[in-house]
């Protein structure tokens, strides 16, 4: 059921300065929108999570944070890994199995391990799939349907097809929340969010531009 989930995936963009600029523009304008019944989750790079957390806390607005990835390993002697405990210091969500990670080496067993370990650290996975046939690991409650052709291409899937995938997922488990991602922008967002089976959107490019993202939030 609603409220809609609007998830921003900033990918590997934004320096710390750019993040501050984004927040300084976004936060007052977001407050001006008044009470909106939509849940916003911002997913910046690991290095920016603290900046986002501090800024949002100081502004006293209830926007959630998520990471874009998680180590499949726990705390330990794993040089370079960012684990669930690190993320939990700042965020409650994590994107798992994005196609841009699968493309660079994460196979089904790795993304499954990641979903499992996210749960161990009390993080909610936003589990990305490319279609209704993808296996959904146990304990996943939020699924993002993101067909590869639609990501960053300006060529979104049709709302009808996204709805069809969402309904197939919900047949497996009626409690799944299914969001759509792939070339969502302020102009097309409502065509997806008005579908009964679609619980929100995962937004890449359109989230980087504050004005566009605010419009998207309003239009969703
Ligand atoms: P896009 O990216 O909105 O730029 O297509 C979506 C995503 O990759 O999550």
Strands (E), 18-70: 38-43, 64-67
What are the 10-residue block averages of pLDDT along the chain, 220 residues in total?
90 98 98 94 98 97 97 97 98 97 94 98 98 93 98 98 98 97 98 98 98 98
Do 28 and 210 touch, CB atoms closer than 8 A?
no
Say what the pLDDT of residue 168 is.
97
Q: Which ligand 1 atom is at minimum distance from the Cα of 150?
A: 5
The pTM of the full predicted model, rounded to 2 decimals, is: 0.97
- 86 included as an active-site residue: no
Say what the pLDDT of residue 177 is.
98
Task: Given the residues 106, 146, 163, 218, select the one marked as catalytic.
Answer: 146
Given ligand 1 and candidates 98, 104, 203, which is best to mutate, with the most ligand atoms within 8 Å of its CB? 203
* Distance of CA 203 from the midpoint of ligand 1 (Å): 5
- 146 included as an active-site residue: yes
Given ligand 1 and candidates 9, 41, 188, 208, which is best to mutate, with the most ligand atoms within 8 Å of its CB? 9
Beta bridge partners of 178: 143
Please provide the distance, in angstroms rounded to a whole number, between the alpha carbons at the two ends of the chain: 15
Burial 75-109 (b: 16+ CB within 10 A, else e): eeeeeeeebbebbbebbebbbbbbbbbbeeebeee
Say what the pLDDT of residue 35 is.
85
Say what the pLDDT of residue 99 is.
95
Say what the pLDDT of residue 107 is.
95
What Rg do the C-alpha atoms of the chain give, in angstroms?
16
Do 58 and 87 touch, CB atoms closer than 8 A?
no
Whether 129 lines ligand 1, by a CB cut-off of 6 Å, is no
Say what the pLDDT of residue 1 is.
57
Say what the pLDDT of residue 139 is.
87
- Those residues with Cβ within 8 angstroms of residue 35's Cβ, 6 or more apart along the chain or in another chain: none
Task: Given the residues 98, 100, 106, 112, select the one marked as catalytic.
Answer: 98
* Distance of CA 114 from the midpoint of ligand 1 (Å): 21
* Distance of CA 156 from the midpoint of ligand 1 (Å): 10
CA distances for 37 relative to 9, 17, 126, 135, 159, angstroms: 20, 30, 20, 31, 22
In 3D space, the residue among 164, 208, 161, 215 whose CA is nearest the CA of residue 186 turns out to be: 215
Do 46 and 82 touch, CB atoms closer than 8 A?
yes
């Amino acid at each position: 059921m609603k409220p809609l989930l609007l998830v921003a995936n900033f990918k590997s963009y934004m320096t710390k300065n750019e993040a501050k600029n984004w927040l300084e523009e976004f936060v007052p304008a977001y407050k001006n929108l008044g009470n909106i019944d939509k849940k916003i989750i911002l997913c910046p790079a690991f290095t920016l999570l603290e900046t986002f957390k501090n800024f949002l806390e100081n502004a006293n607005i209830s926007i959630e944070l998520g990471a874009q990835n998680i180590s499949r390993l726990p705390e330990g002697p794993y040089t370079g890994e960012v684990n669930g405990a690190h993320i939990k210091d700042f965020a409650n969500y994590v994107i798992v199995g994005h196609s841009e990670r699968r493309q660079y080496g994460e196979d089904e067993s790795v993304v499954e391990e990641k979903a499992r370990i996210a749960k161990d650290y009390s993080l909610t996975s936003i589990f990305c799939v490319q279609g209704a046939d993808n296996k959904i690991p146990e304990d996943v409650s939020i699924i993002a349907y993101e067909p590869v052709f639609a990501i960053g291409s300006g060529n979104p899937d049709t709302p009808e097809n996204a709805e069809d995938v969402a309904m197939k997922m919900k047949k497996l488990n009626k409690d799944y929340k299914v969001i759509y991602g792939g070339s969502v922008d302020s102009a097309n967002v409502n065509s997806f969010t008005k579908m009964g089976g679609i619980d929100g959107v995962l937004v890449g490019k359109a989230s980087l531009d504050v004005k566009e993202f605010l419009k998207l939030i309003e239009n969703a």
